[in-house]
Amino acid sequence: MPMAREIEFREALREAMSEEMRSDPRVFLMGEEVAQYHGAYKVSKGMLEEFGPRRIIDTPISESGFAGMGIGATMLGLRPIVEFMSWSFSLVAADQIMNNAPKILYMSGGQFGCPIVFRGNDGAGGQLGSTHSWCVESLYANVPGLKMIIPSDPYDAKGLLKSAIRDENPVFCLESERLLSIKGDVPEEEYVIPIGEAVIRRPGTDCTLVGFGRTVYFCEQAAEELAKEGIECEILDMRSIRPLDLDAIVTSVRKTNYCVVVDQSWSFASIGSEVAAEVHKACFDDLDNHVHRVHNDDVPAPYSHDLEQEMLPHARKICEAVRSATYNA
Amino acid sequence: MPIDITMPRLSDTMEQGTIVKWHVAQGDAVESGDVLADVETDKATMEMQAYDDGTITSIAVPEGQPVEIGTVVAVMAEEGEDAETTPAPAAAPAPAEAPAPAEAPAPAEVPAPAEAPAPPATPHAEAPKTRAGHVRISPVARRLAEEHGVDITTLQGSGPMGRIVKRDVLSAVGATQETTASVPPSAAPGAPPTPAAPAPAAVVVQATPVARAAEKKPADLTVSSGFGLQSHSEPLSNMRQVIASRLVESKQTIPHYQVSMAFDMDPMVEMRTTLNDQLKSHGVKLTFNDLVLRCCALAMYTNPLMNASWGGDHIDYHGDVNVGVAVSLPPERGGGLVVATIRNADRKSLRAISEETHVLVDKARTKGLTVDEMSDATFTISNLGMYGVDNFTAIINPPNSAILALGAIQQKPVVRDGQVVVGHEMSVTLSNDHRVVDGATAAEYLVTLKDLIENPGMALV
Amino acid sequence: MSTTTTPNLKAHEVPIPELDVLKSWLLDMLRIREFEVRAMQAYQNKLAGGFLHVYNGQEAVAVGCIAAMRHTDPVITAYRDHGHALARGLDPKIGFAELFGRIDGCAKGKGGSMHFFDRDNHMFGGHGIVGAQCPLGTGLAFATKYNDEVINGGKSDSVTACFLGDGALNQGSVHEAMNLAAIFDLPIIFCVENNRYAMGTAIDRCTASGDQITNRAVAFDMEARTIRGMDVIEVYREMTEIVEWVRSESRPYFLDIDTYRFKGHSMSDPRKYRTHEEEVEFEANDPIDKLSRYLTSSKLMAEEDIKAMSKSVRSEIREAVAWAKQSPVPDVSELHHDVYADVWGPFTGTSLPRYMLEKRSGEGGDADGA
């Protein structure tokens, strides 16, 4: 990776969008405060100046309306990027993004695909309370016809978002407010990362930790602690949720015989439960214990700082799960 | 260690079974051989019996609910905590507890002629915590055990509820450097973790893994309680109906009487040890049951009046001496009893009797006996010696006119040549049909039998 | 009864088309009516499943509006969509195949009655959720304008017709769509087919100022008018003016079209919420009869010609039903086809419906990209 440089997660997202917009005039960015305000989280800073108001479009606060408008535009060949200031707000657009985007290809018998990207912040921010702290991954990943990416670092964010913009299917890109400022090496040269491929963040022999997005960092903290106890965790960053790189998980679990999934959404009918079910199926004879899951607590996100932190699938919970899974509890 | 009681496969086509009646409840003490439940299969209603002594700690499957073979239907706790300290003899009946054939709980005796599932002699009785095939074990541990040829019934599980986990297998294998690489640090049971155990006060890192695991063990054993006995009634299984009607008929219509006698077993114990030592290379292992059966058949030869049946207006004296052996069935066969017939036992060698008994008992417990293999007995032996029963009386198995009940071979003070010494003794009780056999005839038969048993060389030829 | 807030528009100046065009409208309306009658029959015979919402009585709306548009102007509607698709040129046999859940349907039997898509005829569905087509329609208008102006550097030159029912007026997404269309100056006409009932709820029971729904347009700074929807010529002339205004101004328009649904909301509707007298009264105002009377009274067509046309349509539709019945049910492999555009996991990619592929190979043209 020559010419490595460090940029922020939000800059990586911006570079992905800008590069794709430069090369494809069908691509445009639309959402609340994306243009003049430079994005509520400054992801699209400077894009209005480069691409102008016809392609960097401030919308009214009408998630259902502009999400549907983006979907409609794909039927005539455009490739919108629709930013939700927060995925929490996407719930009011649920009909459009769940009923139309992922199904229109099927409902039309192959006549109309929907090459659109929905992106925005997902998960607990900082004391945003119950309505603004949604983790929508389990909710939306349930729907066939869409793809979902949850990058955890700037390099992946850029490469995956570029793939998403080029994809012929609706892609949901879930970012984390807590990660937007982190920095990472991103090459100057153009690259893309295929959707659907996990990466090993930390090799290990004793227990497979499956995480994605922000939970990868929780996993890394836990792995540090556990290493002191002599338990070497292998951390898989799934990066994509649909398609899910089950092969990567299986390969790791066949090696370690233990698996802990860390998912920042609620546990019931979640990505964590999906991974657990698939691992139990694919790795039944390789498991020395059932798959353990670490999730957000099954409560609405609280406001109070300490309560919110405790709710998250944090390192202590992960350590406890790994010890239990590996019979070290 | 808790013992899983699982739904047995009671017919070749059976895939699931329904417990139509539980005969035990949570908290009940059960002994091996007790009927735990009646199980309805696709073919019939069968009995499920206990294979271990202990206490039922939980009933997992209620009556009326069909479950797959292998499903845990109840959990039982072994008696006490003394599994590791109790010497082998006391524990011996538990694992294989073959009820039928004569087998005394003599020291170091591996019980039961049907030795198929008999675990390799392990010094600690806790080894076979459940029957082979029903061991609580993680999938990868099972696979590793197969790959390394480890008999999982010999392993002590270190996981929850005694689950055998990967590290248990690997430590049994004598884990190599490479394999330990994939075992978490505390893998080897008892081995302290190599890394420094952080202070308990640490927020994230708590007590040392091994210490915690050790602490947990006793708690695992205290799974128990909740419900008391419940009054209820349940319909009979088919086998129970048959047993009930035949034995009621026997007891009500046959004028039973019993004669008892104690035999000095020292010569037979000694002879059996010698014979088995010499026959070991031939793969032959004679049981007391084989020897007693042979003696009973020979005694019949000199007391033919015993080998008879009541015919209503006549008595049939049989030309063949066919000795029936009561065999209790395992849950796989639905529990209950069948009588396997050793035909012409008076004319068969000890070795032939031993082999045939072994084959028939094994078959009764696995595939089931044909009608032919269960018919035409002229005399029956019932043996509860392996339970330590001193003596008991048995109910005649019609159309036989006698049944011999064998007690345990026990070491006790006996008078030999005017001296009180420790010797082996066995008490037997012969139940007779007074319509066919008079008391003197029965007594003469026992005398003959005593002579043979106490001079067992005669049984050899 | 025409009320308008846009006095500059002069519908009366739009010439009445020539006989051939009028004849084609009559043919279209007869075809739609017969299609719906046979669809009802098929539904009752269990050839068609799901929900069936028929268009009887409203034919002049789809035929008149669409006649006023260019063939390339996008059309999108809700679930009562057969009329629009047929008016756009969908072959009835393809429609029946879809109703019957067959592979030759416009959506390969995966869409059903509510999802008549016909890309080659610029018909963008067929949408099942009330009002949800309005944000989509707004997106179509956004896209035509974006294509024309941003990508091609020209001037916006297309008009999108987004049909909705009066019941959809109380759906939030409709309001959002109208607002978006207004602030982005999108060339879209919200054609409200005001058949007076939101399913079984009369408009005055569920819609504020239901007697003058063009009031809604005022809130969005949108031009609006109400027109009579049972007269296809009037619909056409009004729509022509509006379409050309929208095309030239690139502004949205709110069109309230007064019409009546002869049948129930769906096939399971006993219509207890309205009187028989009311139905009889409106049936006397049948748009097909109206055009027929115009043609005969103007001596443009003889009664016999119309009867012959009607007979010919019946025959055409009968054949279409027969053809659709012969179409195979989709192979189970279709289940995982058209879920994703690409191939992964159990999914086998996507392809156009058979009738479109055949048309392309027949024309020797390349497969449609985009």
Q: Does residue B231 form part of some domain?
A: no
**Cβ contact, residue pair A169, C340, below 8 Å:** yes
**Cβ contact, residue pair A231, B141, below 8 Å:** no
Which superfamily does C3-327 belong to?
Thiamin diphosphate (ThDP)-binding fold, Pyr/PP domains (3.40.50.970)
Q: Which of B134, B148, B256, B434 is catalytic?
A: B434
**Cβ contact, residue pair C341, A115, below 8 Å:** yes
At C256-305, the pLDDT tens digits run 999 999 998 988 788 889 999 999 999 999 999 999 999 999 999 999 99
Min Cα distance A283 → chain B (Å) is 9
**Residue A153 sits in which domain range?**
4-187
CB C23 within 8 Å of CB C302: no
Q: How many domains does chain B have?
A: 2
Residues A40 and A100 in one domain: yes
Residues A133 and A267 in one domain: no
Q: Can you give the pLDDT at residue B199?
A: 38
* For residues C67-84, average pLDDT: 98
Which residue's structure tokens are 């991103």? Answer: A186
Whether A contacts C, i.e. 3 or more CB pairs less than 8 A apart, is yes
Which of B140, B183, B213 minimises the CB distance to A286?
A: B140
Residues B250 and B366 in one domain: yes
A107: chain C residues, CB-CB within 8 Å: 107, 110-111, 115, 117, 125-126
- Using DSSP bridges, classify how beta strands B323-328 and A147-149 pair: parallel, antiparallel or unpaired: unpaired
| Spatial distance between the Cα atoms of A100 and A66, rounded to a whole number of angstroms | 13
Residues A222 and A140 in one domain: no
| Spatial distance between the Cα atoms of A81 and A91, rounded to a whole number of angstroms | 17
| Spatial distance between the Cα atoms of A38 and A60, rounded to a whole number of angstroms | 15
Residues A13 and A139 in one domain: yes
Q: Which of A63, A234, A274, A308 is catalytic?
A: A63
A287: chain B residues, CB-CB within 8 Å: 138-140
A63 is catalytic: yes
Which residue's structure tokens are 């007298």? Answer: C277
Min Cα distance A275 → chain B (Å) is 18
**Cβ contact, residue pair A243, C370, below 8 Å:** no
Sign of the CA dihedral running B106, B110, B114, B118 = positive
**Which 3 state secondary structure label does DSSP give B75?**
strand
Residues B201 and B263 in one domain: no
Residues B193 and B269 in one domain: no
**Cβ contact, residue pair A228, B198, below 8 Å:** yes
Closest chain A residue to B186, measured at CA = A328
Closest chain C residue to A146, measured at CA = C340
Q: Which of B221, B250, B276 is the last residue of a domain?
A: B221
Q: Can you give the pLDDT at residue B9?
A: 74
- The DSSP bridge partners found for residue B426 are B263, B409
Residues A220 and A175 in one domain: no
| Residue C321 scores a pLDDT above 50 | yes
At B423-439, the pLDDT tens digits run 899 999 999 999 999 99
Min Cα distance A224 → chain B (Å) is 11
Q: Model-level pTM?
A: 0.66
B282 is catalytic: no
Neighbour subunits, B (≥3 Cβ pairs < 8 A): A
Q: Among candidates B123, B148, B119, which has minimal Cα distance to B135? A: B119
| Residue B186 scores a pLDDT above 70 | no
Q: Which of B221, B251, B267 is the last residue of a domain?
A: B221
**Residue B91 sits in which domain range?**
2-221
Residues A152 and A284 in one domain: no
Substitution target from A229, A234, A253, A290 for chain B, most B beta carbons within 10 A: A229
| Spatial distance between the Cα atoms of C238 and C220, rounded to a whole number of angstroms | 21
Q: Which of A245-249, A282-286, B104-108, B344-348 has the lowest mean pLDDT?
A: B104-108
Q: Does residue A76 form part of some domain?
A: yes
More confident residue, B236 or B416: B416
Q: Which of A187, A211, A245 is the last residue of a domain?
A: A187
Q: Does residue B346 form part of some domain?
A: yes
Residues A49 and A128 in one domain: yes
**Cβ contact, residue pair A315, B204, below 8 Å:** yes
Q: How many domains does chain A have?
A: 2
**Cβ contact, residue pair A54, C149, below 8 Å:** yes
Tell me the percentage of chain B whose pLDDT exceeds 70: 73
At A65-124, the pLDDT tens digits run 999 999 999 999 999 999 999 999 999 999 999 999 999 999 999 999 999 999 999 998
Rama region for B288: left / alpha / beta (φ>0; ψ in -120 to 50; rest): alpha
Residues A121 and A205 in one domain: no
Residues A132 and A77 in one domain: yes
Q: Which of A129, A163, A187 is the last residue of a domain?
A: A187
B165: chain A residues, CB-CB within 8 Å: 288-289, 327
| Residue B106 scores a pLDDT above 80 | no
| Residue B313 scores a pLDDT above 70 | yes
Would you give the end-to-end CA distance of chain A in angstroms?
Answer: 42
State the CB neighbour count (10 A cutoff) for residue C316. 18
A323: chain B residues, CB-CB within 8 Å: 209, 212
Using 50 as the pLDDT threshold, list the residues of chain A that sit under it. Answer: 1
Q: Can you give the pLDDT at residue B10?
A: 67
The model's confidence at residue B238, banded by pLDDT at 50, 70 and 90, is low
Whether C contacts B, i.e. 3 or more CB pairs less than 8 A apart, is no
Residues B246 and B211 in one domain: no
A118: chain C residues, CB-CB within 8 Å: none
Residues B217 and B342 in one domain: no
Q: Among candidates B373, B307, B353, B350, which has minimal Cα distance to B459? A: B350
Q: Which of A4-13, A203-212, B4-13, B403-412 has the lowest mean pLDDT?
A: B4-13
Min Cα distance A113 → chain C (Å) is 7
CB B399 within 8 Å of CB B309: yes
**Cβ contact, residue pair B195, A286, below 8 Å:** no
Q: Which of B179, B195, B221 is the last residue of a domain?
A: B221
Substitution target from C173, C183, C188 for chain A, most A beta carbons within 10 A: C173
Residues A205 and A180 in one domain: no
Q: What's A221's domain CATH number? A: 3.40.50.920
**Cβ contact, residue pair A110, C350, below 8 Å:** yes
| Spatial distance between the Cα atoms of B218 and B194, rounded to a whole number of angstroms | 25
CB A257 within 8 Å of CB B187: no
Q: Where are the domains of chain C?
A: 3-327, 331-370
Residues B333 and B388 in one domain: yes
Q: Which of A315-324, B238-247, C205-214 has the lowest mean pLDDT?
A: B238-247
Q: Can you give the pLDDT at residue B185?
A: 47
